[in-house]
Amino acid sequence: MKVAPSILTANFIRLEDELKSVEKGSDYIHVDVMDGHFVPNISFGPAIVSQIGDLTSLPMDIHLMVEFPLDWIDKVIFPTTEFITIHAECNRFKESIRRILYLGKKAGIAIKPNTPVDVIKPYLDQLDLVLVMGVEPGYGGQVFIQSQLDKIRELAELKKENNYRYEIQVDGGINQSTAKQVKDAGATIVVAGTYIFNYQDREERIQSLK
C-alpha cells in the first residue's frame, strides 16, 4: 500500500518541519486545493503549493477541489507535481483531464460518496488515478463511509478486466483499520491527514498504513 500524507492537517507555521516528519516511508505528499465554492472551505493557492514542492523530496499528489479546474491546472504545474486530480462533479472535467495529460502530468478523477462509478467509466482508459472519497470532501477528521468499499471493488474489477493503468486512491476517514479494508477491496494508495499529523510518531503511523 502506498501512503500520501495530507498536508491540509499539518501545522503551517512549521511547514518545513512538518513535511520532513512524514517523508520517511511516504510515497507522495497529498495537497488539497479548495476554492470555497466547490467545497465549503478554503485551503491555499498556487504560491503555497509551490513552496510545498520546494520543501519536500516527495512527489506532489495535487487534489483540486475547485469548481473550475481549467483555471487552476496550469498554476499547479511544478517540477515535483506528479498527479493532478480533478472532480467528476466539477465544470468541464473532460477538458481538464486532456489539459493535465497535455502538460505531461498524470491525470486523476475524484468522485464524491454519492457519485457512482458509471459517471467516469468512459474515461477510465485515460486515467492514471481514480480517487474515491471516503467522506464528503472539504474537512478532515470525518468517519469513513463504508458503502465506498463497493466502489473500490468495482474499480479494481474494471481495472483488471480492461488492463487499465490507474491507481485506486482513497481519501477520508483513513486509519489502520479502514486502510486494511480499502486495501482488501483493491485500493493502492491511501491518503491520511489527522491519523498521521495528530500524532508525534508520524513514521510509525505511516508504517501502520503500509
Helix spans in 14-87 (H): 15-21, 46-55
C-alpha cell at 133: 472519497
d(CA 113, CA 160): 23
Task: Tally DSSP H helices, then E strands, for the chain.
Answer: 7, 8
What is the domain range of residue 197?
A: 2-209
d(CA 58, CA 56): 5
Residue with C-alpha cell 515535483?
80
C-alpha cell at 184: 482488501
> In which band, very low, low, confident or very high, does the pLDDT at 139 lie, cut at 50, 70 and 90?
low
pLDDT in tens, 90-131: 999 999 999 999 999 999 999 999 999 999 999 999 999 999
Q: Which DSSP helix (H) or strand (E) runs through 154?
A: helix 148-162
Domain count, the chain: 1
Annotated catalytic sites, by residue? 32, 171
Q: Environment class of residue 84 by beta-carbon count within 10 Å: exposed (0-12), middle (13-18) or buried (19+)?
A: buried
Is residue 41 scored above 90 in pLDDT?
no
Q: What is the pLDDT at residue 13? A: 92
Which CATH number fits the domain that encloses residue 34? 3.20.20.70
Picking from 82, 177, 183, the residue whose alpha carbon sits closest to that of residue 128 is 82
Average pLDDT across the chain, whole number? 95
Q: What is the pLDDT at residue 56? A: 93
